[in-house]
Structure 1
Amino acid sequence: FLDRIPHDYIIYGILAANGIVFGMWCLADVDYKTGDPSSLLWMRDNFAMSMRNVTNSRPWVLVTSIFSHSGMAHILFNSFAFYWIAPPVLGMLGGRSFLTLYFAGGICANLVSSTYNKVFKGRDMQSVGASAAIYSAVTYLACAAPRTTFYLYALIPIPAWLLVPTILGFDMWSWVSNRETTTDSLGHVGGILAGAAYFLGRRFGIF
């Protein structure tokens, strides 16, 4: 039935869900600043990805964290990117396959990043955001239509076949060099690889 849902419903539905969850984070932050941390702790337990949450029987954070964002700039950038990339990929895949790609990209990124940080770094980082899920869709489009022109920062034209490797290279460098940022670079890498894997899986009839 997902293929029968109008594409606009899917696009605006995901954007609305992002907005609702962001509003929940904002209200929880207000409560925290007025001396009540319970709402913020609940959001961190149920809407932020961490191995602690998963192992404490809250596996839904693999999905709910995709709708969470850390600030106004974060949600605005991701919402703009999603609104721009979703229509052409939805047109190629249809609703069911698009949602599979989108959420698989986010879930794979969460698992890759959290597992690596826990096993190899000995730390349990919390992660939120739709960036990796969006990168999986961007990568799929780049694989399916490599001559598609993207506009970096809405100004600089760049072909898809160049943009995705550039993003991948930057995030790989950020991850390997252990740059101290709030960006989950390894999660981005996981999303890009998930998008490429989904494209190859469909190309060779696996999916």
Structure 2
Amino acid sequence: MFNNIPPITRNIIIINVIVFIIANLLLQDKLVGYLAAFYPFSPFFKSWQVITHMFMHGSIMHILFNMFTLFSFGPVLEQSLGQKKYLILYFVSGLGAFFLFNLWNFIEVQQISNELQQLGFNVNAYLSGANVGYSGTSEVILQQKNLVGSLNDIMGTPMVGASGAIFGVIAAFATLYPDAKIGIMFIPIPMKVKYVLPIVIVGSIYLGISGNGGGIAHLAHVGGALVGWLLARSWKKHLYRFN
């Protein structure tokens, strides 16, 4: 059965599983600092992370859900788009996810930095690695500590997973096959994908902006889906033309 999966989808799944076993089971998360994606202005960021984070997963359920979703939608797109376009779709969607997620991080960092400066904290020196102390009243110092904590969370929290790339695949599938019906957990009646995807995207935008995401990079999903939709929309009008 596994051999019947088209080669690009099959190889992506194999690489993800191998990396998961090595990173999470054999090396026990020692590769997270190298392969997960950090905020681009974080001292932990490395250029290759924009690609390698797509093959890192935080838990067995995380990778199982992502790979099952890719297995469900990927083969159809690989066969209809061709291997080259499918590969472009997957990785460019992953890059789009990284970009939108960190664009929002950048906005939040700017807001936090402005608040810290107003409180008299030298945020530029702190970000450059200097040992900056807190000063002011006890209330001001508490505010400074809370804001610095939020800043450190953005700088030090890694982004992992293929979800952004896979959301691009799902969005492309919905664009090319809008009337296809899919089953959704907790909903017994299959629904057309053209109705399901917008609901998921709106929910992801709300959760990503509100900060109620529960540790999930919801805006990365939106970024991946946006790229997948744009690419599929561009390719759709040429898809069934014959030379």
Q: What TM-score, normalized by structure 1, do the two folds share?
A: 0.82
Corresponding residue for residue 227 of structure 2: 194
Structure 2 CA distance, aligned partners of 1:75 and 1:201?
A: 30
Instruction: Tell me if the contact between 1:46 and 1:61 (Cα under 8 Å) persists in the aligned partners.
Output: yes
Structure 2 CA distance, aligned partners of 1:177 and 1:55?
A: 26
Does 1:129 pair with 2:149? no
Gaps of 5+ in 1: 1-5, 30-38
Q: Tell me, what secondary structure is at the counterpart of 1:51?
A: coil
Corresponding residue for residue 158 of structure 1: 191
Structure 2 CA distance, aligned partners of 1:51 and 1:12?
A: 30
Change (3 A) 1:22 1:74: same
Corresponding residue for residue 27 of structure 2: 28
Change (3 A) 1:179 1:57: closer
Change (3 A) 1:57 1:114: closer
- What residue identity is the alignment partner of 1:44? V
Instruction: Tell me if the contact between 2:37 and 2:159 (Cα under 8 Å) persists in the aligned partners.
Output: yes
1:10 counterpart (8, 16, 26): 8
Structure 2 CA distance, aligned partners of 1:10 and 1:156?
A: 31
Change (3 A) 1:180 1:197: closer
- What residue identity is the alignment partner of 1:24? I
Change (3 A) 1:180 1:200: closer
Q: Which moved more, 1:133-142 or 1:148-157?
A: 148-157
Structure 2 CA distance, aligned partners of 1:17 and 1:164?
A: 27
* Pairing 1:74-93 to 2, within 5 Å after superposition: 74-93=62-81
Does 1:46 pair with 2:34? yes
Could you list the structure 1 runs, at least 4 aligned residues long, displaced by more than 3 angstroms after superposition.
52-57
Q: Cα deviations across residues 4-31 of structure 1 (Å, max 9, x unaligned)?
A: xx962212211110011101222222xx
Structure 1 CA distance, aligned partners of 2:236 and 2:32?
A: 38
Corresponding residue for residue 103 of structure 2: 115
Percentage identity across paired residues of the two chains: 25
Corresponding residue for residue 133 of structure 2: none
Shift of residue 107 of structure 1?
A: 1.0
Instruction: Tell me if the contact between 2:179 and 2:193 (Cα under 8 Å) persists in the aligned partners.
Output: yes
Q: What TM-score, normalized by structure 2, do the two folds share?
A: 0.71
Instruction: Tell me if the contact between 2:97 and 2:220 (Cα under 8 Å) persists in the aligned partners.
Output: yes
Corresponding residue for residue 184 of structure 1: 217
Q: How many residues align?
A: 189
Gaps of 5+ in 2: 110-150, 239-243
Q: Tell me, what secondary structure is at the counterpart of 2:6?
A: helix
